[in-house]
Amino acid sequence: MRAYDLICKKRDGKELTEEEIRFFIDGCCSGQIPDEQTAAFLMAVYFRSMSRHEIFAMTKAMIDSGERADLSRIKGIKVDKHSTGGVGDKTTLVIIPAACACGVVCPKLSGRGLGHTGGTVDKLEAIPGYRCDLSKEEFAAAVNRVGAGISGQSASLAPADKKIYALRDITGTVEVPALIAASIMSKKLASGADRLLLDITVGSGAFNKDEAAGLALGKIMLDIAQRAGKKTVALLTDMDEPLGFAIGNTAELIEAFETLKGRGPSDLTEICIAMAGEMLYLAGKGDIADCRAAAKQAITGGAGLRKLKEIIASQGGDPLVCDDYSRLPSGEDAGVFKAEKDGFITGVDCSGYGRAAQILGAGRARQNDGIDYGAGILLLKKRGDTVKKGDIIARLFSNSHGGSEAVSILRESTFIGSQAPPARRLILGRIENEPAPRLKYGDF
């Protein structure tokens, strides 16, 4: 087999066999296929896409490039959750403890932020002492002790994805549904939970710019889960503006704590109730309505917050941060963004808001950049709000620089008009699969 022939086959729109795809992934990881050829292959996939069969073959080959987490030492039905990414998305910090407080076992492996989107690992590492680098044994012990763990993903799971993602990142081939689906699902299937909740974000802050694109990605991911025998629910959720009012690590932690005290922003609270409810449903805790009611009670009634404190303490962090926010890293005043005319905020470019936070230091441009945990943005006004010229729309925080550049990005990313925008839906859709029971672990 030659990589050249496979590139030409894909370029000409033909379907590759499982063996051919495995040859490509293995060769890319071992270095036998040079990066130039992998890049050409990825570009051919960008234009020709892949069949469901090819996507599943690629997912399997990427899983087999590394280890599979063995969660068999953790008791109970284990439910994991993954979001395709967003701005101000702190849902994991709310829904994992809430679902766990209702008896769902949650081994959650999370990622760092990259580009305009944030990552749960960065938020948790803002808590003094919190460890996201637990070994497999420590992670299993933490989940067995508390019922949930939130840790960083080990580099040994689907290493092919890391290599291929880095090439996609520099060759304009990130935004390919087939590649996004294989990338996410290889890591999620390798992490070994029994059931999976997918949050497919849609809008200007997400990969999927519209609902049709989100639905198409959701269907591909559910198809992979189906073939792998993994019961999965996907929610399509709005990411056309940041979730809640806070963007940036400390700011988002505080907003998550407030949400678990029943004082969270309405959009964040609504999405968290829906997602935590789905996790209960996936764990077999009842029908959707009952599961949502139980999730709501856990989020607003204090049980979720108590569980989050246990999770933080169990991973070496200081649980007092949940009540005493001065124990978290803070940022200096870096300016304000004001309305330049009267009107309604008719919409925002959500990725611009993420980029502004990144420039303040809250996110990284490259994988190994440092993070300013105290940097971020607090929104005072959002889509649909009225503003008068000179009203403060956002306050900015940073310990470095970038305030004026961030303000100009926010200005370009905020649209003010004379008509109120139509109301928006937060949950755009829901799909679920019903795979046959799996034969045994690692069977596919």
Given the residues 83, 151, 183, 351, the one annotated as active site: 183
When the beta carbons of 193 and 378 are compared against ligand URA, the nearer one is 193
Neighbours of 360 (CB within 10 A): 29
Q: Of 179-187, 279-287, 342-350, 374-382, which part binds ligand URA (CB under 6 A)? A: 179-187
Instruction: Render the burial of 97-121: b for 16+ CB within 10 Å, e for the rest.
Output: bbbbbbebbbbbbbbbbbbbbbbbb
The answer to whether 45 and 62 are in contact (CB under 8 A) is no
Q: Which residues in the 109-148 window bind ligand URA by CB under 6 A?
A: none
- Residues in contact with ligand URA, shown as a per-residue x/- string from 283 to 322 under the rule CB under 6 A: ----------------------------------------
To the query of whether residue 161 is one of the catalytic residues in this protein, the response is yes
When the beta carbons of 191 and 300 are compared against ligand URA, the nearer one is 191
When the beta carbons of 177 and 376 are compared against ligand URA, the nearer one is 177
Nearest residue relative to ligand URA (C-beta): 183
When the beta carbons of 186 and 414 are compared against ligand URA, the nearer one is 186
Q: How far is the CB of 215 from ligand URA (least distance, A)?
A: 17
Given the residues 116, 162, 187, 355, the one annotated as active site: 187
Phi, psi (deg, nearest 5) at residue 414: -120, 125
To the query of whether residue 227 is one of the catalytic residues in this protein, the response is no
Q: Which two tokens stand for residue 187?
A: 């890591």
Q: Is 180 an interacting residue with respect to ligand URA (CB under 6 A)?
A: yes
Neighbours of 366 (CB within 10 A): 8
Q: Of 175-183, 302-310, 379-387, 424-432, which part binds ligand URA (CB under 6 A)? A: 175-183
Given the residues 89, 161, 199, 238, the one annotated as active site: 161
Q: How far is the CB of 13 from ligand URA (least distance, A)?
A: 22
Q: How far is the CB of 168 from ligand URA (least distance, A)?
A: 7
When the beta carbons of 163 and 309 are compared against ligand URA, the nearer one is 163
# residues near ligand URA by CB under 6 A: 7
Q: Which residues in the 80-109 window bind ligand URA by CB under 6 A?
A: 84-85
Q: Is 184 an interacting residue with respect to ligand URA (CB under 6 A)?
A: yes
Q: Which residues in the 208-237 window bind ligand URA by CB under 6 A?
A: none
Phi, psi (deg, nearest 5) at residue 380: -100, -25
Given the residues 78, 81, 116, 168, the one annotated as active site: 168
When the beta carbons of 83 and 398 are compared against ligand URA, the nearer one is 83
To the query of whether residue 183 is one of the catalytic residues in this protein, the response is yes
To the query of whether residue 330 is one of the catalytic residues in this protein, the response is no
Neighbours of 429 (CB within 10 A): 15
360: amino acid identity, one letter: L
Distance CA 292, CA 296 (A): 6
Q: What is the DSSP string of 30-72?
A: HTSS-HHHHHHHHHHHHHH---HHHHHHHHHHHHTTSB----T
DSSP 8-state assignment for residue 105: B
Q: Of 145-153, 178-186, 359-367, 415-423, which part binds ligand URA (CB under 6 A)? A: 178-186
Q: How far is the CB of 111 from ligand URA (least distance, A)?
A: 7
Q: For residue 171, give Cα distances in angstroms to 10, 134, 159, 250, 295.
A: 17, 33, 19, 33, 42
When the beta carbons of 219 and 424 are compared against ligand URA, the nearer one is 219
Helix and strand tally (H, E) in the chain?
A: 16, 13
To the query of whether residue 187 is one of the catalytic residues in this protein, the response is yes
The answer to whether 215 and 236 are in contact (CB under 8 A) is yes
Q: How far is the CB of 166 from ligand URA (least distance, A)?
A: 11
Q: Is 154 an interacting residue with respect to ligand URA (CB under 6 A)?
A: no
Q: What is the DSSP string of 227-284?
A: HTT-EEEEEEEE-SS-SSSEESHHHHHHHHHHHTTT-S-HHHHHHHHHHHHHHHHHTT
Q: Quick one: which of 392, 389, 376, 393 has its CA closest to 334?
A: 376
Given the residues 82, 163, 296, 381, the one annotated as active site: 82
Which active-site residues does the annotation give? Answer: 82, 161, 168, 183, 187
> Which residue ranges make up the site for ligand URA (CB under 6 A)?
84-85, 165, 179-180, 183-184
